[in-house]
Amino acid sequence: MHYGDGLFETIRVRAGRPCQWRRHLERLNWGAGRLGMPLVDSDRLADESLAISQGLDDGVLKIILTRGSGGRGYRPPLAPAPRRILILYPLPQDPGATFESGVLVRYCRTPASLNPALAGIKHLNRLDSVLARREWDDPRIAEGLMLDPSGRLVGGTMSNLFLWDGERLLTPGVEGAGIAGTTRGLMIETARSRGVVCVETNIEPPDLKRAEGLFLTNAVAGVWPVRQLEDHAFDLGRLPWDLLAAVRQAARTSG
Amino acid sequence: MHYGDGLFETIRVRAGRPCQWRRHLERLNWGAGRLGMPLVDSDRLADESLAISQGLDDGVLKIILTRGSGGRGYRPPLAPAPRRILILYPLPQDPGATFESGVLVRYCRTPASLNPALAGIKHLNRLDSVLARREWDDPRIAEGLMLDPSGRLVGGTMSNLFLWDGERLLTPGVEGAGIAGTTRGLMIETARSRGVVCVETNIEPPDLKRAEGLFLTNAVAGVWPVRQLEDHAFDLGRLPWDLLAAVRQAARTSG
């Protein structure tokens, strides 16, 4: 496991149960397929996850799945014995209290790595996000936005980005960079099921200033409306609150 | 260390001493600076490396330097306690026997990740190289060449690439992707000290077919002349053998 050769899932736990379990499991196995790792035993992992979450009212379950030990070089083992690591963490302070009031967001200088072979996958090569997250320590700033080397928006260091243009949702595609977030998937599906058009497309910084509103999604916080991006303030009243509240609620259920 | 947040060095050991120590140490500390990690204590690491290498006639020393344990998220610890891991490996079979006869090389489909913030650094986010190395298991093929997402050559999965056009050496720059190899640096300096022009530039696959010759460099194998790339054979006699032999020899000294 010298080269970040593996996958992870960050899962909200509520009332002793992992939230949105099916989406996390599906993404994990989709990632395993993309990386050429054996699929996980779904029943076994579900049992382990439920067992470790039992009794926990609210928290975070992290699952790490590595290809397993190899030799010195890059050549992975021919018969890999993947390793599962399950870790419980307390809920970060106030992950949801900012739903009504919105969050403060900045841009990061560190670009997101561009690689179609890795894009979308929640793999363990996250040095770009680590360097981006190092760029600020002001606790009032909830998240930093990352661009790919061509200047296209990828998302936050730990979240996906949505733009509301007054009629439609727009979100960066995940073919070149970024992660196919579970809450991102839930947002896209919920929007479409309600007749809201949701487009995966290229977004650049000037598009954000022209937007009616922005919000971020991730599995721990759910939905973060963006109150301010650098020196640009948004009128939170223009966001499609019914949709945001529905997804926030659904993200906390077992799915 | 969940996110490949660290560095490594792969060092040839000969007669109980790490080869080209100064170059490896300099690159390690250059990488630490780029990643915002504390620099290593050079004397201490030198002592440790010499102690572990003692008595080893020929082998490989791998040094892993991680930022140290952090929390769940991407935010690194404010006061990191970096971790040093030193591992000795036997020399891979025949790393140098192919110097005279040359090696067989193929292209990989997996692109190298593009990220100017990480380029050049020998960091631990190497999932692209792992996936590329998985693409073949024919032991006759020594190395695979990787392109960045724009189709520019980056190098081999574990080596740097040089092209000889009959008068000059050309090698891909490491501003967008790739690793600033120690033997690459030794080759560039040795060439220039002998009056051979060496240019860091964009190289694309058609350039390789037009070349007089190709070779690869890394710290374990030294120099690998390329006998054949896919179905294209090279006339090894056209390579600047004096230069290659000098670098191969120098790469095996303590530097």
Quickly count: other Cβ atoms within 10 Å of residue B161's Cβ.
Answer: 26
Q: Which of A61, A113, A136, A138 is best to mutate for the B interface (most B CBs within 10 A)?
A: A113
Last residue of a domain, one of A74, A90, A106: A90
Same domain, A83 and A174: no
Q: How far is B134 from chain A (nearest CA, A)?
A: 6
Q: How far is B194 from chain A (nearest CA, A)?
A: 33
Is residue A1 one of the residues assigned to a domain? no
Tokens of A183: 């809450």
Q: Say which of A71, A87, A124 has its CB closest to residue B3.
A: A124
Please name the residue of chain A whose CA is at the shortest distance from the CA of residue B176: A149
Please name the residue of chain A whose CA is at the shortest distance from the CA of residue B134: A75
Is residue A139 one of the residues assigned to a domain? yes
Last residue of a domain, one of B90, B107, B122: B90
A1-22: average pLDDT: 93
Cβ proximity of A223 and A217 under 8 Å: yes
What does the DSSP 8-state code read for residue A194?
T
A-chain residues within 8 Å CB-CB of B107? Answer: none
A-chain residues within 8 Å CB-CB of B84? Answer: none
Question: Coil, strand, or helix at residue B218?
Answer: strand
**Tens digits of residue pLDDT in A148-169:** 999 999 999 999 999 999 999 9
Same domain, B54 and B145: no
Residue A239, pLDDT score: 98
Q: How far is B2 from chain A (nearest CA, A)?
A: 7
Instruction: Quote the number of domains for chain A.
Output: 2
First to last CA, chain A: 32
Contact A128 B114 (CB under 8 A): no
Give the distance, in angstroms, between the CA of residue B86 and the centroid of all CA atoms in the same chain.
Answer: 18
Same domain, A83 and A176: no
Please name the residue of chain B whose CA is at the shortest distance from the CA of residue A4: B4
Residue A1, pLDDT score: 56
Is residue A208 one of the residues assigned to a domain? yes
Same domain, B28 and B136: no
Residue B80, pLDDT score: 77
CATH code of B136's domain: 3.20.10.10
How do strand B6-14 and strand B58-66 relate by DSSP bridges? antiparallel
Same domain, A84 and A130: no
A190-199: average pLDDT: 98
Is residue A199 one of the residues assigned to a domain? yes
Task: Give the separation between CA A130 and CA A122, rounded to whole angstroms.
Answer: 14
Question: Coil, strand, or helix at residue A10?
Answer: strand
Contact B75 A133 (CB under 8 A): yes
Q: Token match 């600033």: residue?
A: B180
Contacts of A64 (CB under 8 A, 6+ apart): A6, A7, A8, A83, A84, A85, A86, A87, A124, B2
Same domain, B38 and B119: no
Longest C-alpha distance within chain A, in Å?
A: 56
Q: Say which of A71, A74, A127 has its CB closest to residue B129.
A: A74
Residue B41, pLDDT score: 95
Please name the residue of chain A whose CA is at the shortest distance from the CA of residue B37: A131
Tell me which residue range forms the domain holding A229: 98-251
Question: Coil, strand, or helix at residue A251?
Answer: helix
Contact A4 B125 (CB under 8 A): yes
A-chain residues within 8 Å CB-CB of B91? Answer: none
Cβ proximity of A255 and A19 under 8 Å: yes
Q: How far is B192 from chain A (nearest CA, A)?
A: 31
A-chain residues within 8 Å CB-CB of B144? Answer: none
Contact A115 B149 (CB under 8 A): yes
Is residue B1 one of the residues assigned to a domain? no
How confident is the prediction along chain B (255 residues), in pLDDT tens digits per residue? 578 899 999 999 999 999 999 999 999 999 999 999 999 999 999 999 999 999 999 999 999 999 987 777 888 877 778 899 999 999 987 656 789 899 999 999 999 999 999 999 999 999 999 999 999 999 999 999 999 999 999 999 999 999 999 999 999 999 999 999 999 999 999 999 999 999 999 999 999 999 999 999 999 999 999 999 999 999 999 999 999 999 999 999 988
A-chain residues within 8 Å CB-CB of B87? Answer: 72
Q: Say which of A60, A62, A130 has its CB closest to residue B74.
A: A130
pLDDT bucket at A96, cuts 50 / 70 / 90: low
Contacts of B37 (CB under 8 A, 6+ apart): B6, B7, B65, B67, B80, B82
Contact B131 A64 (CB under 8 A): no
Q: Say which of B75, B116, B128 has its CB closest to residue A111.
A: B116
Is residue A113 one of the residues assigned to a domain? yes
Same domain, A118 and A150: yes
Contacts of B77 (CB under 8 A, 6+ apart): B67, B68, B69, B70, B71
Contact B126 A75 (CB under 8 A): no
Contact B74 A126 (CB under 8 A): yes
Same domain, A85 and A22: yes
Residue B72, pLDDT score: 77
Average pLDDT, chain A: 95
- Going B115 to B145 to A6 to A178, the CA torsion angle's sign is positive
Higher pLDDT, B50 or A80: B50
Residue B96, pLDDT score: 60
Q: How far is A166 from chain B (nearest CA, A)?
A: 33
Same domain, A120 and A62: no
ipTM over 0.90: yes
How do strand A160-164 and strand B232-233 relate by DSSP bridges? unpaired
Is residue A240 one of the residues assigned to a domain? yes
Same domain, A229 and A119: yes
Q: Say which of B60, B74, B131 has its CB closest to residue A129.
A: B74
CATH code of B54's domain: 3.30.470.10
Same domain, A194 and A225: yes
pLDDT bucket at A92, cuts 50 / 70 / 90: confident
Last residue of a domain, one of B90, B119, B141: B90
Is residue B233 one of the residues assigned to a domain? yes
Same domain, B113 and B237: yes
